[in-house]
Structure 1
Amino acid sequence: MSDGIEVEQIIETKPKKLPMATSIDKDSIREVYEDVRSDFTDTEWAVFKFDGSQIVCTAKGQGFDEFKGQFTDNERAFGYIRIQMGDEMSKRRKFLFLTWIGPEVGVIQRAKMSTDKAIIKDVLSNFAVEIQAGNDTELDIELFRDALNRAGGANYGTGVRDLL
């Protein structure tokens, strides 16, 4: 200033926006979870995504192709799917828990997935296999079946071989 008074410049800074803690409506998630698990419904899968800081069910349905189509490159999500397993003598349903982190998801959101996963696994607690995927090639029904077979122990067929 011209009259010899020093003026201290004040720089105004905005506080950094910290990510909010993730929450979940346990009752609504549990309802969808039980729907997938039920032998009396046609629902084979459910997908859970983030609506702000809350995990919600965004889709449920039938058919693996529709399930696979729920996951995009720029988001993180969870999937719960019922897969028919077994052979001609023994059919059984197995459940798989999927953690999806798309390839375009940022570092901080990736890091939050471990705590977010713990929150949803508190409700989705019964599954044979847990898989983490991050690209479309990892969303393959045969990879899922293979993982379930490996987790299930012995696999018995009918004992009849095709003879040449």
Structure 2
Amino acid sequence: MTTSIDRDKIREAYEDVRSDNSETEWAVFKFEGTHIVCSAKGTQFEKFREQFADDERAFGYIRLQMGDEMSKRQKFLFLTWVGPSVGVIKRAKMSTIFILLHNFDLLFYCFSCFLSQNFAVELQLENVNEFEIDHFREQLLRAGGANYGTGLRDV
């Protein structure tokens, strides 16, 4: 069976997360059979974390504010989730879907916005314990290069 996506809803969710005029900080995309849909959007990291069950495969896109006392900026992280209880066949199909996404297959045209590097970090997670905001921030900080903040600001 061919995997398909809900292009309009996924594009809408993606743009909502990226918008400076939106409070939406994250979106989650899950499988409904062989169809990938936007299953949830929100503003709290704990709610984001709750979206990923042990027996599911999903993708997540999240905006986090980074920076120091001199410079604040929004950074984006894209993740692929394969829960520890996902069966062997579905787990294997994820790698095929992942390859298709990275090859900009026309079917996955909407995901190309993610995969054309509109995110600073890409993670592949398989354990719910990896869903820690500090872990995400650390990965974004590493990807950001030099960090000149002193922790103090003279006014």
Q: TM-score range by the shorter chain?
A: 0.7 to 0.9
Aligned partners of 1:63, 1:116: CA distance in 2, in Å? 28
- Which residue number in structure 2 is paired with residue 23 of structure 1? 4
Aligned partners of 1:95, 1:103: CA distance in 2, in Å? 25
For 1:56, the aligned partner's letter is V
1:66, distance to aligned residue in structure 2 (A): 0.4
Is the 1:82–1:93 contact (alpha carbons within 8 Å) kept by the matching residues of 2? yes
Is the 1:26–1:123 contact (alpha carbons within 8 Å) kept by the matching residues of 2? no
> Given the two structures, how large is their TM-score scaled by the length of structure 2?
0.86
Paired residue for 2:130, among 120, 133, 138? 138
Paired residue for 2:148, among 148, 156, 159? 156
Query: Higher helix fraction: Structure 1 or Structure 2?
Result: 2
**CA shift digits 1:111-145 (9 cap, x unpaired):** 11123231363242311100011111111111100
Aligned partners of 1:63, 1:40: CA distance in 2, in Å? 17
**CA shift digits 1:48-72 (9 cap, x unpaired):** 0001111000000011100000000
> Given the two structures, how large is their TM-score scaled by the length of structure 1?
0.82
Is the 1:85–1:94 contact (alpha carbons within 8 Å) kept by the matching residues of 2? yes
Aligned partners of 2:151, 2:59: CA distance in 1, in Å? 38
- Aligned alpha-carbon RMSD (Å): 1.6
1:108, distance to aligned residue in structure 2 (A): 1.1
Paired residue for 1:127, among 119, 128, 131? 119
Query: Which ranges of structure 1 fall in alignment gaps of 5 or more residues?
Result: 1-19
- Which residue number in structure 2 is paired with residue 10 of structure 1? none
In the alignment of these two chains, the number of paired residues is 142
Query: Which ranges of structure 2 fall in alignment gaps of 5 or more residues?
Result: 102-107
Please identify the structure whose Cα radius of gyration is greater.
Answer: 1
In structure 2, the CA distance between the partners of 1:152 and 1:109, relative to structure 1 (3 Å rule), is same
Does residue 81 of structure 2 align to residue 100 of structure 1?
Answer: yes
Is the 1:30–1:124 contact (alpha carbons within 8 Å) kept by the matching residues of 2? no
For 1:121, the aligned partner's letter is F
1:159, distance to aligned residue in structure 2 (A): 7.0
Greater RCO, 1 or 2 (C-alpha within 8 Å, sep 6+): 2
